[in-house]
Amino acid sequence: MKNIVLFLLLIPINFGFNSVELSKGIKKKIAKEIKIVFEVENFTLETILIPDTINKELKTDIGTDNLFKIISESELIGYAFVDSAPSKTDKFEYLVLFDTDLIITKSKVLVYREDYGAEIGSKRWLKQFIGLKLTSEIKYAKDIKAISGATISARSMTIAINNLLKSMNVLMQEKII
């Protein structure tokens, strides 16, 4: 466990245009989710670098440090993506885990900073994204349930997931992942 956390502490994560380093608490949350979802004790995260020419085609801005291969015992077991999305007056950080077939296995709100709308972090609401494939397209209030009091954040998360799926599809077609 210490090796996992130590490795994660060394990874700076880029959110949008402002490069910030994740807190120890967020890194622990990421490690915990990976351990639970993939049922592994030891793993490493390997950064996936995206050429600028391809990154310009993507719906999601993937920096040099927010998309990772999850490796356990020298074997690829999945992918992790960490980013932020806008809420009413701030941003929230979220994690999306994919299996090796690039199907969403977990989405989690890591940090939510608003007084209202934290319901988007509920397991019940987030499980709507599990099982989505790269070809899936979802619509807020149609495919994804609306949340009273969290409209902006819930819509933002839905858009972020849609854009991520489209971006991952491009990366798969370009044989980057």
DSSP-based three-state secondary structure for 13: strand
Q: What pLDDT is stored for residue 22 in this prediction? A: 57
Residue pair 101/50 in contact (Cβ under 8 Å)? The answer is no
Q: Would the pLDDT of 141 be above 70?
A: yes
Q: What pLDDT is stored for residue 114 in this prediction? A: 85
Among the residue ranges 8-22, 28-42, 59-73, 136-150, the one predicted with the least confidence is: 8-22
Tens digits of residue pLDDT in 78-129: 999 999 998 888 899 999 999 999 999 999 999 999 888 888 999 999 999 9
Q: Sketch the domain layout of the chain as residue ranges.
A: 2-173
**pTM attached to this predicted model:** 0.85
Q: 72-108 as b/e, with b when 16 or more CB fall inside 10 Å? A: beeeebbbbbbbbbbbeeebbbbbbbbeeebebbbbb
